[in-house]
Amino acid sequence: MTEVQLQEFKLEPDSELRFEVESKNEKVVLEVKSGYAELFGTELVKAKPYEFHTGAKVAVFTWHGCTVELRGKTEVSYVAKETPMVVYLNVHAALEQQRVAAEQESTRGPVTMVVGPGDVGKSTLTRILLNYAVRMGRRPIYVDLDVGQGHISVPGTIGALLVERPASIEEGFSQQAPLVYHFGHSSPGENLELYNTIVGRLAEVIAERSSTSGVIINTCGWIKGDGYKVLSHAAQAFEVDVILVLDNERLYNELKRDMPKFVKVVYLPKSGGVVERSSTQRAEARDARIREYFYGKRTPYYPHSFDVKFGDLKIYKVGAPSLPDSCMPLGMRAADALTKLVQVWPSAALQHRLLAVSFAAGPDDDVLHSNLAGFVCVTAVDMDRQMLTILSPQPRPLPNTVLLLSELQYMDNH
């Protein structure tokens, strides 16, 4: 038996312990022994063990000082005294002032968008700001436009969630009744027309539900060329009040130049703790996210597996092959083809693919603007028996609604 490694750290006020769990099937247990600490804005309970698994990259921050113990094998573990947490706390304080003003004037609270290149801590800052807001008794809306990671549902979607409790240390924000829209690719560039359409739709729905607590929007790390246009479009669609730019002066200057004057564009430093991820690690994170969707993280889920006849399925994909404008029927733009539904006939190519289960009953039912009920994964295709085997969080039968084919794949070898 290998010995469990035990490390103890004394943290001074305003410092953080950073660690990573790298090795396969490794588990690290964290415990606060004395003092107060938080993890990406969620307070840690003293003497309570928290578990972290392979791939976790964590920072335990303390405003007042604390002692922390780690049990298990960490790849990296060190204490950092330089962090941008005071700056982030000031941003929170400024947003809080705007919420108070919104209450007094009966208007909506601040709509904030977090932008920046990849690996600067956008998702982490979003989580910190949401946590600080709920800890003040607010109920902000969390919007995630990052189709690459899909923090709210699975990769290939955008979504929104009302945040009523701080994120759980091990499982993140509670996923009750999220609003989720299908995109089907892991980068907005795969279909800009569709991406902008669903972002616009989500923005409309959120505008109807806005409160004095405001909205915090996480975005993709694609910031150049069309990526910049996508960000500007989202800013406009959500009518943002504040844009927080992490670690990119060029983006900051471009937004300062192009955004209307009432939009506050704020430059923020990134944390030295944010870990860069290779494209393999990103793909692994996507995969892990999908596995979590079906099997749960800490609380295990037990998905169902069953067969469905080809004849009982209505599968569509979004986006017909686009023709030049000159070949389009009168009054139609080539871009319109990109948001058209095209029926997909079941074939072996469906194996391992995710299918979004829409609330829309039929293809004429405003499918793109419909919220998703959830996802299933095709685990096998039997052309002889004309059957698909499906992995689903819900027991059979599959609802008799439209299924939207995603490009994202998941190999179920659980």
**Binding footprint of ligand ATP on the chain (CB under 6 A):** 18, 57, 59, 118-124, 146, 149, 221, 271, 273-275
Minimum distance from residue 180 beta carbon to ligand ATP (Å): 18
∠ CA 5-10-16 to the nearest 5 degrees?
A: 95
Annotated binding-site residue? 46: no
Minimum distance from residue 121 beta carbon to ligand ATP (Å): 4
Minimum distance from residue 117 beta carbon to ligand ATP (Å): 7
Compare residues 19 and 410 and give the one whose CB is closer to ligand ATP: 19
Compare residues 65 and 118 and give the one whose CB is closer to ligand ATP: 118
Q: Are 287 and 261 in contact (CB under 8 A)?
A: no
Compare residues 98 and 124 and give the one whose CB is closer to ligand ATP: 124
Distance CA 22, CA 209 (A): 41
Length of the chain: 414
Minimum distance from residue 55 beta carbon to ligand ATP (Å): 8
Annotated binding-site residue? 279: no
| Bridge partners of residue 8, in order along the sequence | 69
The count of C-alpha atoms lying within 13 angstroms of the C-alpha of 251, restricted to the half-sphere facing its C-beta, is: 26
Annotated binding-site residue? 57: yes
Minimum distance from residue 414 beta carbon to ligand ATP (Å): 23
Annotated binding-site residue? 401: no
Distance CA 20, CA 22 (A): 6
Compare residues 28 and 357 and give the one whose CB is closer to ligand ATP: 28
Distance CA 200, CA 73 (A): 45
Minimum distance from residue 127 beta carbon to ligand ATP (Å): 8
Annotated binding-site residue? 358: no
Could you write out the DSSP letters of every residue in 360-386?
-SSTTS-GGGSPEEEEEEEEEEETTTT
Distance CA 344, CA 34 (A): 59
Compare residues 86 and 348 and give the one whose CB is closer to ligand ATP: 86
Rg (CA), the chain: 22
Q: Which two tokens stand for residue 8?
A: 């103890």
Q: What are phi and psi of 15, to 5 degrees?
A: -130, 170
Find the residue with minimal CB distance to ligand ATP.
273
The count of C-alpha atoms lying within 13 angstroms of the C-alpha of 91, restricted to the half-sphere facing its C-beta, is: 28
Q: Which two tokens stand for residue 391?
A: 């992995």
Annotated binding-site residue? 121: yes
Compare residues 94 and 285 and give the one whose CB is closer to ligand ATP: 285
Annotated binding-site residue? 16: yes
**Binding site listing:** 16, 57, 119-124
**Binding site listing for ATP:** 16, 57, 119-124
